[in-house]
Amino acid sequence: MIPATLVKIIGVLSLASMAVSQEWRFYGGDAGGTRYSSLQQINPRNVGRLKQAWTYHTGEVTRGDRSTERHRIAPFESTPLVIDGVLYLTTPSSRVIALDAETGKEIWQFDPQAGLPGPRRFHQNRGVAYWQDKTGNDRRILYGTFDARLITLDARTGKPCRDFGKDGVVDLREGLTDFTPETEYGVTSPPVVYRDLVITGAEVPEYPSKGPSGMVRAFNIRSGKLVWTFHTIPQPGETGHETWQSDSWKGRTGANVWSVMSVDAERGLVFLPIGSASYDFYGADRKGQNLFANCLVALDAATGKLVWYFQTVHHDIWDYDLPAQPVLINVGRNGREIPAVAQVTKMGFVFILDRITGKPLFPVEERPVPKSDVSGEAAWPTQPFPLLPPPLARQSVSAADISNVTAESNRYCTELFHSLDNHGMYTPYGRNLTLVMPGSLGGANWSGASFDPSTGYLFVNVNELGSVGMMTPQAMDALERFRRTSKWGEYGRFWDEHQWPCQRPPWGTLNAVNVNTGSIAWKVPLGTVDELKMKTGRPNLGGSIVSGGVVFIGATTDSRFRAFDAHTGKELWATTLEANAHATPITYMGKTGKQFVVIAAGGGGALSPKVSDTLVAFALPEQSARKRALH
């Protein structure tokens, strides 16, 4: 017979577990980034009745300008957290705002730029992390800012936790050398938490090649003291150092984690999606395989020690950095479940690896790829191609693929296509104008993926978008010998004057990948061009979530928020937003028993001239929600 006290403890723990499952405590829904919710109130039968429940305006409509490509309007990419009825979001000026999750009313806000001289600065910021001690009395919000401050706030009041670092702040620039205060170095994605550690990467320059380290660091959550450092570019004596020819590793920037990491708390592992080494498009001064650039790396979360790595691109000269949070999944095989990790890529590949060993669960081939014609460049002779799942995006374009959505577009794109060098997958940018497909905004970007454990489906939105550029010699005193250029700027795209991609639609898709078989369960166009009156799909940035058999996603450049049947891919619901929703939505149960779906619809960034400052919540009408609750 179970003692009454133990029954009471079990009951309390069960209620606590149920409460957590109804919240959104992590950027990716859980520490493993599945973006899955077990809530069922909203489902395929009633999702079409969703209505706007509340709207919150951050007040940041004017946030930057388009005078230069590098200083575009900062996007509103925040994915909120919801804990104990409070919603926490960040804004492009690195403010943190706490709202009542039921009503959207403001509770508090923290402004890290208060009192700073000069104009307000704006940059994308994707959200915060949350930690509480075992008693639940000490609750903290942790996040990074555009100017590389790691800040810890009291979750109840929004006041800095004075015991962390210096008055609640750790300056992430301290301990880094060989770059000026003006050098780009900041944080755009939320850190992750493992036990009493907060682990963070940073955004670093993509040009030039020398600058701040892309190292990943862990700090004690209570004190802010540095606990461990992982060198993403190995130092002498460390694994992988030999993959950098000569002294090319010294002072090298890039190879950073600017996206979101994942944590397997049970196994004590943290997974790092590492970016490409700088300069992104020129590697003559860094010959070699260049570990751990473009690697998915598993570390011992407590110590920062290397457990395993898998490189998705060798000697990257395409800006094919790992842009998305790794998704911790289980793969069914021969009657058992294998702990695995899925990594989506800009190339349109999905790598599915054993979470414990890093070994691919589906075959991966090293295939020969084109050579570079740039003086001194030594493109790696092969690249890894997973045999399953199949590529989710096109990896080559021929003349027969040129878009014919309008005669004007066909003429423009045909002329452009025939002016470009094009040698298929992994064509290096050359001395002539070159087409690379997919480009740096192609495939799956930081949008990432969501996963439904009940079906084994991984939901991935991808872009069908190529890049155009050429490697141009620079002046003798330039920071790099060559730099990518085009008449459209450094980041030329393979699209027409309407910014419609130059190959035939679809231009963006939502895919369901069966991780157990490696097959594509379904693929549908994502987005529409209203002028063309057809389901073309559209370029998209922003992620999906899955709940109750429904996949929710904004992302597209048509300012829509959509719901799809998770089993079939059928579009069930769509609504028009104030601007493009380049963010990942969340869902949670309100304290009155109503399920909400919330998304930031702020536009901005590389794809969105229209901007807004809107965070919008949707829910079923009162009668529908009550009826569902009774059943």
Q: Report the side by side order of strands in the sheet with 262-264.
A: 262-264, 269-273, 295-300, 306-311
Tell me if residue 111 is catalytic.
Answer: no
Tokens of 502: 């130059």
For 198, left (φ over 0), alpha (ψ -120 to 50), or beta?
beta
Q: Provide the CB-side half-sphere exposure for 192 (13 A, CA).
A: 29
Specify the DSSP class assigned to residue 353.
Answer: E
Q: How far apart are CA 312 and CA 314, in angstroms?
A: 7
Specify the DSSP class assigned to residue 72.
Answer: P
Given 285, 319, 565, 613, the catalytic residue:
319
Total residue count of the chain as it appears in this document: 631
H-state helical runs in 421-481 = none
Q: How far apart are CA 198 and CA 263, in angstroms?
A: 11
Q: How far apart are CA 283 and CA 377, in angstroms?
A: 6
E-state strands within 77-178 = 81-83, 86-90, 96-100, 106-110, 129-132, 139-144, 149-154, 169-171
Alpha carbon of 403 to those of 293, 332, 434: distances in Å?
35, 40, 18
First to last CA, the chain: 33
Task: Classify residue 452 by burial, with Cβ atoms within 10 Å: 0-12, 13-18, 19+.
Answer: buried
Task: Classify residue 436 by burial, with Cβ atoms within 10 Å: 0-12, 13-18, 19+.
Answer: buried
Q: Provide the CB-side half-sphere exposure for 167 (13 A, CA).
A: 1
Alpha carbon of 191 to those of 144, 154, 233, 344, 357: distances in Å?
7, 16, 20, 20, 24
Alpha carbon of 247 to those of 204, 233, 251, 252, 583: distances in Å?
20, 12, 9, 10, 40
Where in the sequence numbering do the catalytic residues fall?
319
